Amino acid sequence: MILRPSSKTSRAALSRRAFAVRDEYTPCRNQTRYERDTKIPSEQPNPKRSPRLLLNPVLAELPAYPLVRMDERRRDLEERGAKLFDFGTGDPREPTDKKIRQALIDGVLEVSRYPSATGTKELREAFVNFMLRRHSVRLDPETEVLPAAGSKEAIFHAPLAFIHPVHERRGISYGTPGYPVYERGALFAGGEALPVKLRKEEGFLLPVRDIDPARTRAVWVNYPHNPTGATATLQYIEELANFCREHDILLFSDECYNDVYSGDPPPSVLEITKERTLAFVSLSKRSGMTGYRSAMMAGDPELIAALKKLRPSIGAASPGFVQQAATAAWTDDAHVNERNRTFAAKRALFESFLERAGFRYTSTNASLYLWVEVPKEYGGDDEAYAVRLLDERIIVAPGSSFGPGGEGYFRIALVPAIQECEEAIARWEGLTE
Ligand SMILES: Cc1ncc(COP(=O)(O)O)c(C=O)c1O
């Protein structure tokens, strides 16, 4: 805190104030960036009160996880017994394939053992075969792949391996609106969050020109994109990869929705390069395994080696029975094709409704999402529109919950069963007439 004398403040008053401030906030000898930027509560015990709980400042300043607020409202309605049409969270209701469930059951052993961070050989080989089949990418199962307990924790933890917290290039760039974990992972690792605005006119592709090479250590991209459903061409990925190579920036590609599509299959960044590059590939949406927690990281062996060194300290390895289920999932594509037929039917149903009702939206053939502009009469207030829909028992995610650039939009997650989609559309149609 900087105290400056003014005509109205005597030096004595200032020094009393400065003393009070020192008393309340005890400075620390080796100040970190956060300590400089934030007030540090005193650790002096107060005989009358417990000392204020000293939190990691990144945590202290964190707003509630965006969709949690909508979830709370939903729970409130559910407690009152209302039937809800939940298009808010990207957690599809289609059953997990029987073979995968059976593999999980068969994987429960009589004697429980700690899982290893490197995962089973069978899992790594099943994934490597999948990447060859699906993307024509050859990976070494020993040095170029590593499992994770879902891609969320992998995305969150990755900067811990690659960010030097006092280096001038400790920035992580990511698109906004977007998945909030890129920012959080950067900040908790002592990095700098460098959001880059995504624009409708540019197909929501992260503009390479807006990445600052002087500050950026790593860049996250995510195509097919949450929340807009935008997809990237190989040509775009190549341009981005060339830029990253030129400026020694790590390229992280979140490929959570790569296998949720109809039409042309979305490419993987590894089709272009492995150099200083990682793909994060999840089973959650591909195979309906959100509750299992299983994903894979793949790419540059040097980066994988760093993660192999980091991850045993985290303790996030999936249990052996989940790894067995994951092995079954990566081995089979039939269940993925079937799920994609269902998602395509829901997408077509909603796109046809949005057209009829005169909504402006981003048409897509991939991801689980439709990104829609809020009707004009709401003046771009996405939260107000989401709340209005909640009155109709329809839950959508307000665009602003995905960060700056999301204002004025809402996201429909194509998760309820098709019959529920039809019922919800019938209710919604009443609102738009
Ligand atoms: C863009 C994106 N990346 C990653 C994840 C995390 O997926 P999981 O941890 O289930 O693999 C999600 C989940 O919704 C997501 O939308």
Give distance in angstroms: CA of 12 to centre of ligand 1.
Answer: 56
- Residue 9 is predicted with a pLDDT of 38
Q: Which of 89, 151, 156 to mutate to test the pocket of ligand 1 (most atoms within 8 A of CB)?
A: 151
Residues 423 and 325 in one domain: no
Closest CA to 314 of 289, 291, 297: 297
Residues 242 and 324 in one domain: yes
Q: Are strands 394-395 and 85-86 parallel, antiparallel or unpaired?
A: parallel
Rounded Cα distance, 395 and 411, in Å: 10
- Residue 182 is predicted with a pLDDT of 98
Residues 384 and 324 in one domain: no
Closest CA to 157 of 191, 121, 127, 206: 191
Q: Which of 153, 176, 226 to mutate to test the pocket of ligand 1 (most atoms within 8 A of CB)?
A: 226
Residues 150 and 123 in one domain: yes
Angle value at C-alpha 409, between 407 and 410, nearest 5 degrees: 120
32 falls within a domain? yes
1 falls within a domain? no
Residues 144 and 259 in one domain: yes
Give distance in angstroms: CA of 395 to centre of ligand 1.
Answer: 19
CATH code, 273: 3.40.640.10
Q: Which of 155, 223, 282 to mutate to test the pocket of ligand 1 (most atoms within 8 A of CB)?
A: 282
CATH code, 70: 3.90.1150.10
Q: pLDDT 10s per residue in the chain (433 long)? A: 333 333 333 333 333 333 333 333 333 334 444 444 545 555 555 667 788 899 999 999 987 655 555 666 777 888 989 899 999 989 999 999 999 999 999 999 999 999 999 999 999 999 999 999 999 999 999 999 999 999 999 999 999 999 999 999 999 999 999 999 999 999 999 999 999 999 999 999 999 999 999 999 999 999 999 999 999 999 999 999 999 999 999 999 999 999 999 999 999 999 999 999 999 999 999 999 999 999 999 999 999 999 999 999 999 999 999 999 999 999 999 999 999 999 999 999 999 999 999 999 999 999 999 999 999 999 999 988 998 898 899 999 999 999 999 999 999 999 999 999 999 999 999 887 6
Residues with CB under 6 A from ligand 1: 90, 150-152, 179, 222, 226, 254, 256, 282, 284, 290, 295
Domain boundary among 271, 299, 331: 331
Alpha-carbon torsion (23, 24, 30, 33), positive or negative: negative
- Residue 256 is predicted with a pLDDT of 97
Residues 123 and 184 in one domain: yes
Please report the atom of ligand 1 found closest to the CA of residue 148: 11
Residues 287 and 212 in one domain: yes
- Residue 6 is predicted with a pLDDT of 39
Is-contact 428 87, C-beta < 8 A?
no
- Rounded to two decimals, the pTM is 0.88
211 falls within a domain? yes
Give distance in angstroms: CA of 297 to centre of ligand 1.
Answer: 13
Residues in a beta bridge with 172: 193, 218
- Residue 40 is predicted with a pLDDT of 53
pLDDT tens digits along 116-161:
999 999 999 999 999 999 999 999 999 999 999 999 999 999 999 9
Give distance in angstroms: CA of 155 to centre of ligand 1.
Answer: 9
Cβ neighbours, 10 Å, residue 433: 5
Residue 79 domain boundaries = 66-91+335-432
Give distance in angstroms: CA of 256 to centre of ligand 1.
Answer: 6
Residue nearest to atom 14 of ligand 1 (CA): 90
CA 289 to chain centroid: 16
2 falls within a domain? no
- Residue 73 is predicted with a pLDDT of 72
